[in-house]
Structure 1
Amino acid sequence: MGNVVRRVLGIIREELDEDRAGESGESSESQMFNSAGTNSGLHRPARPLPKTAGQALTHETQALLGESNAPPTKTSMLSLLSHSPYGEVSHVAQVIAIPQSLLLQEGRSTGATNAADDLKSEVVEGIDELLDELRQADDQIATYALEQIHSREIILTNSTTRTTQKFLLKAASRRNLTVILVESFPNSHRSAYEILTGRPKGNSRSGEQMNRALTAAGVTVIFAADSIVFGLMTRVTKVILDANIIFGSGSSVTLVGSKLIARAAKLHRSPVLVLGGVYKISPDYPFNVNSLMENGEPSAEVSCMDDYLPGEIEVGKPLFDHIPADLVDLYITNVGSYAPATLYSVVNDHYRAEDTDLDSV
């Protein structure tokens, strides 16, 4: 949520900068025009007109030019336009410039309103583009599956999200795969055991839906417990994880149990690929990693009424793990693949420096 707020603030700031740049360009052009007009003699002081031109002007016009003592004469528009020598254009321009300046002053408020409406429409258009990016992020990430996964590979993952499912299905459309799905105790193990026993209870869970989709695509799916991940890693060719948060430093926050998998993969030299849209990449730096960790309700796993539990004991149920940058080989986003050390460039392209700390905005 914080990343999306920063993206929207960046869109507003970008449109404001473009609007100010356009206004400064227009003001500089108007100054150049005014200076050119002054040099050409359009704003020279009024001087007495020849007799022929004075007969062609009305009494009000002569008063504006400083010749109110001249007697009024009757004239027509045809005679006024017929007497226009080159030397008399400057005086006529002075007369016409007066109502134009008044019109410009009266139209300032209308121009400001139109500029605000234009700015609002541009910001709304930018937010619509951001929404399209969020909707298409999973499909765009899946397009890189064929570049990263080859035939007869054994993929290990503990994620049952839609991002991981689309990524594996895209690879399975051209490749022969075997997927090892870790149960991820204590968050997703129930659905894994229900599928293994063939007796799912209640509504279909994400793990069951993923298993059905992959098996329908011809993928061999194997469920495994967290305790045997280290032993299975000798046969695994790639590890795929789904990130909840990705930091510019190269670290990430993923589902609990991912750190165990990433450490085992590093020891066995198995590449670790982390999936995540650009909207998950955060400009924050995790100074305090423990502040990012969330705990769930442990009562579903351990009952508080159990007699064997001693008094005044705290039971935690972590939901996420923090994976350092040295345990990740590649991040796959909807705009390309990046090494952990190059994520700062993505942060600089999508966020403004003044929006990093939301408390100061």
Structure 2
Amino acid sequence: MAPSQAGYAPNLDKFLKSLKGQTLEASTESLIYLLKRKQVTGDECANATARMLLQVVAKSKWHDVDQLLARVQSTGSRLARAAPHEPVIGNIVRRVLGLIRDEATEDRNADEMSESVEDIQALSVPASPPPPRPHPGLIRTQTAGGSVVVSKSMFNLLSVADTADLPTTTSTPMSQAQPASVSTLRSEVIDGIEEIMDEISQADDQIATFADIQISPGDYVLVYQPTRTVEKFLVKAASKRRFTVFIAGIEPPHNGAAEAPYSALRKKLNAAGVHTICLASNGLMAYIPRINKVVINAKAVYQNGGLLVDSGSSIAALAAHAFSKPVIVLGGVFKFCPEDPSDQVKSGEQGSASSSVTYAEGAGVDALEVENTVTDYVPPELVDIYVTNLGPQTRHHLASILADHYKPEEMVLTMQLGDA
């Protein structure tokens, strides 16, 4: 039997390992290839984009902030055009552009403040040494007959100026502590991108910490094709709660697969005392009246509160809304897009139909036109709460989250990233 080639298929891990040995342009082309072939999808796109932009900052030649912004924006636009249905790519590009502007502004402010401090120091240096200060309680004035000691009354305090009481500045100029240069800015931006990468990697664990608040003992929870984010959320809740999970969207194993879908998740939940029930997609509506809440994962959260989700999740959200069941959405803040969904997003992304039908099933397949939608759009009125790595949020708080993470200059980046 010929060895399986699956282990040689390019993926995110192999791409990250190849970054050190490739040129910047070769790394960019490699990631574009993976994005076009959908070998890097979902949260992996955010991580890969951040890594790629870090390489742009570290390896590319630039001499000022404008050149750096242009290089980051150019590379980010190429990545976004390679995967137009992955909004997180544009989100990370915007975050990095805002980071560069912030760091450049801090350096500029540091330069201006250091110049002001130097000017103040120059003005405050006396032309000649100050005379010796008299006793704190006495003021010596000069008269025709000589010096006379006068008591320091309130009137004298207001009328007599003592130049020795003026404060002197002895602090070190900020320009010495924080020099503004290309190397310094490069280092600061790299540190900022690494913080964004840490945020992406820790988002699922931070979201899971709020699981016991959202899930109560005895709940019946419905999940549709749970992702890693949802799995961690359920496992964390199972450590403190006893409830029942309905896993919808389960399809029978293909080609004699050894394990049923989501067997690892079911084993973890069963070991914690949580019962799991598998449902086929067409049996979802029959169980909705018994469900207490629906938990779905968001690929992206748009400015209006709408969601980009995996195909089928919108059916679960619509059914829950019809029966007044709360819908809980999980997603890190790096998935929040400062734009409204386009008509293309609302209509859904079309994928290959080979997962549903094959030409081996007969000649009748040639007469069929099969559409396989791989993404859905969930309107904001179907969502009750958004659980992020910053905590649970409502639709009314989305604007403040976007304002905290994106600068106004990057809000108009939509057309540049979206045009093919």
Partner deviation per Cα, 1:107-165 (whole Å, 9 max, x = no partner): x9x99986332222221221221111111111100000011111010000113211111
| TM-score after normalising by structure 2 | 0.62
Secondary structure of the corresponding residue to residue 304 of structure 2: coil
CA contact (8 A) 1:160 1:210 kept: no
What is the number of residues matched between the two proteins? 281
Secondary structure in structure 2 of the residue aligned to 1:215: helix
Alignment of 1:320-335 (within 5 A): 320-335=375-390
Q: Which residue of 1 aligns with 2:325?
A: 270
SS state of the match for residue 170, structure 1? helix
| 1:83-162 map, 5 Å | 115-162=181-228
**Corresponding position of 2:372:** 317
Whole-angstrom distance in 2 between the partners of 1:322 and 1:259: 7
Structure 1 unaligned regions, length at least 5: 43-107
Q: CA deviation at 1:335?
A: 0.6
Aligned to 2:240: 174
- Select which of 290, 295, 299 maps to 1:240: 295
From 310, 314, 317, the equivalent of 1:259 is: 314
Deviates more, 1:149-158 or 1:252-261: 252-261
Structure 2 counterpart of 1:330, one-letter code? I
Residues 289 and 322 in structure 1, CA contact (< 8 A), matched pair in contact too: no
Name stretches of at least 5 consecutive residues in structure 2 with no aligned partner: 1-88, 129-174
* CA deviation after TM superposition for structure 1 residue 292, in Å: 7.2
Identity of aligned residues (%): 35
Please point out which of 101, 105, 108 is paired with 1:17: 105
State whether residues 275 and 332 of structure 1, in contact with CA within 8 Å, keep that contact through their aligned partners in structure 2.
yes
One-letter code aligned to 1:8? V
Q: Equivalent of 1:30, from 82, 101, 118?
A: 118
1:268/1:309 Cα in 2 relative to 1: closer, same or farther (>3 Å)?
same
| Residue of structure 2 equivalent to 1:303 | 358
Per-residue deviation, 1:205? 7.0
* Matched AA of 1:234: P
* Mapped contact 1:273–1:328 kept (Cα < 8 A): yes
- In 2, Cα distance between the equivalents of 1:225 and 1:347? 37
Shift of 1:209: 2.1
CA apart distance, 1:30: 2.3
**Residue range with higher mean Cα deviation, 208-217 or 134-143:** 208-217
Structure 1: distance between partners of 2:336 and 2:320: 23
- The AA in structure 2 aligned to 1:33 is Q
Deviation at residue 308 of structure 1 after TM alignment: 3.0
| 2:340 aligns with one of 279, 285, 303 | 285
Provide the secondary structure at the position in 2 that maps to 1:174.
coil
Shift of 1:273: 0.1
Tell me what 1:7 maps to. Answer: 95
Tell me, in whole angstroms, the C-alpha distance in 2 between the residues paired with 1:158 and 1:139: 20
Deviations 1:293-351 (A, max 9, x none): 3222102322346433464x532101111000000000000011111232111111111
Indicate if the aligned counterparts of 2:357 and 2:365 stay in contact, CA closer than 8 A. no
Pairwise CA distance, 1:35: 3.9
Aligned alpha-carbon RMSD (Å):
2.7
Q: Whole-Å Cα distance in 1 between the matches of residues 260 and 410 of structure 2?
A: 38
Question: What TM-score do you get using the length of structure 1 for normalisation?
Answer: 0.71
Q: Distance in 2 between matches of 1:234 and 1:205?
A: 26
Q: Is the 8 A contact 2:308 2:345 kept in 1?
A: no
For residues 212-251 of structure 1, the C-alpha deviation after alignment (integer angstroms, 9 at most, x for no partner) is: 2222222111111222222211100010000111112101
Q: Secondary structure at the match of 2:372?
A: coil
What residue is the counterpart of 1:355 in the other structure? 410
> Deviation at 1:200?
5.9
CA change 1:301–1:288 in 2 (3 A) is same
Preserved CA contact (<8 Å) 1:293 1:321: yes
CA distance in structure 2 between the aligned counterparts of 1:316 and 1:176, rounded to whole angstroms: 40
Paired letter, 1:149:
I
Aligned partners of 1:329 and 1:339 also within 8 Å: yes
> Does structure 1 retain, via aligned residues, the 8 Å contact 2:224–2:248?
yes
C-alpha distance in structure 1 between counterparts of 2:107 and 2:281, whole Å = 55
Which residue does the alignment assign to 1:250? 305
Q: Which moved more, 1:20-29 or 1:330-339?
A: 20-29
Q: 2:398 aligns with which of 343, 352, 358?
A: 343
- 2: CA distance between counterparts of 1:263 and 1:359? 31
Query: Structure 1 residues 292 and 279, CA, compared in 2 at 3 Å: closer, same or farther?
Result: farther
Equivalent residues in 2 for 1:224-235 (5 A)?
A: 224-235=279-290
Letter in 2 for 1:34: A
Secondary structure of the 2:351 match is: coil
Task: Tell me what 1:89 maps to.
Answer: none
Aligned to 2:251: 189
Matched, 1:165 2:231: yes
Contact 2:289 / 2:323 at 8 angstroms: preserved in 1?
A: yes
Structure 1's 350 and 200: CA in aligned 2 closer, same or farther, altered over 3 A? farther
Contact kept in structure 2, 1:159 and 1:242, CA below 8 Å: no
CA distance in 2, matches of 1:177, 1:111: 56
SS of residue paired to 2:373: coil
